[in-house]
Amino acid sequence: MLRVSHLKRAYGDFIAAQGVSFSIAKGEIVGLLGHNGAGKTTVMKMLSGYLEPSSGEILFDNRPLSQHLKTLQRKIGYLPESLPVYPELSVVDYLDYAAELKGISAAEKKQEIKRVIGATELHDKLLSPISTLSRGYKQRVGVAQALLGKPSLLILDEPTNGLDPQQTMHMRELIRSIAKEATVILSTHIMQEVDALCDRVLMMRAGKLVIDAKIATLRQSRHVLVRCNLSEHKLQTVFTALPDIVAVELIPDEQGTAVSCARLEIKTGCDMQAVCAAVAQAIFNQAGQLFELRAQTRDLETLFREVNSQTQLDYTQEALTYAA
């Protein structure tokens, strides 16, 4: 559906994006993450055809975007973070104008505007000047214009910005329904949005793509937490003897009891279930009691901090080996 190869954008000596490569299939909702200045907006502008790459290639529907720009742009819906609108226009006049720009025929335009108004729940504001709308309603107008023409590629930059919780839930459902027939790229600073909507993330840092992986994979760590009644000395001895255990770290019991607790570091590539089974068996072989055994997971916010820390760059390279 969408394939990006070695994308680069330079402004003189400043490189905003470099070596960005990924592919997204129809029906995927992919989160594009990164700090301000990481290159996300530059990439989105290039994908929309608004900004020409300095080098690299964008294939959309198996056709180069640069060679079929006008034709392919009609299949792209784009919501920038700060949507330029005409404040003096009413909502319906603005959508009519946006439909004209997208080349939607006169015969289809009325029905298409009606469809996106229903999808974004803008019925009550049709004749209101955009200047009088709240931030949340302006955001919905932006989403409505992006949906015009039933795009097969939808690029959304902070789509729930300014929406209340109920509107946010409605927007999530709308995005999920769109993804049944389209490819969706979602850029947001709200990790809950990524958790709720995406099963894969592209994470950028300093203009480069540092992670392309499934969220489920990224959540996994190479650590197992164990609570048992073995002494700390015996616990160290038993676990270090297991071939797939790299290190044993004794930690305080989170529940405040006198139980021995440890964090076990597992070799890369090992089967986590098999390792957990071996740990449990080792405890039972010592006539010990096992109270808790679980793989440690990380949340997206923790991962985001790690990726954007100078001391964690080795981790990002490792994560790329799990690319989807």
Q: What does the alpha-carbon distance between residue 278 and residue 65 come to, in Å, rounded to a whole number?
A: 53
- Rounded to the nearest 10 degrees, how much is the dihedral formed by the CA atoms of 303, 307, 312, 316? 100
Looking at the structure, tell me whether residues 262 and 178 fall in a common domain. no
In a domain, 13, yes or no: yes
The predicted pLDDT at position 307 comes to 72
Q: Give 225-239 as a DSSP string.
A: EEEESS-HHHHHHHH
Same domain, 88 and 161: yes
**Residue 306: inside a domain:** no
Which residues on neighbouring strands pair with residue 204, listed in sequence order? 209
The total of other beta-carbon atoms located within 10 Å of residue 195's CB is 15
Cβ–Cβ < 8 Å for 136, 151: no
CATH number of the structural domain spanning residue 239: 3.30.70.330
The predicted pLDDT at position 186 comes to 94
Same domain, 21 and 135: yes
pLDDT at 314: 44
CA distances from residue 294 to 86, 238, 258 in whole angstroms, order as listed: 55, 18, 19
Task: Note the pLDDT of residue 279.
Answer: 95
Q: Which pLDDT belongs to residue 246? A: 92
Q: What is the predicted pLDDT for the residue at 321?
A: 38
Give domain status of residue 180, yes or no: yes
Domain with 245, as residue range(s), is 221-297
Within-domain flag for 307: no
Total domains, the chain: 2
**Helices H / strands E in the chain, number of each:** 12, 14
Please, which residues have CB within 8 angstroms of residue 111's CB and are 6 or more apart in sequence?
Answer: none
Examine the domain organization and report whether 186 and 92 are in the same domain.
yes
pLDDT at position 90: 96
| Residue ranges in the chain whose pLDDT is less than 50 | 310-324
Question: Are residue 125 and residue 192 in the same domain, yes or no?
Answer: yes
- pTM for this prediction: 0.78
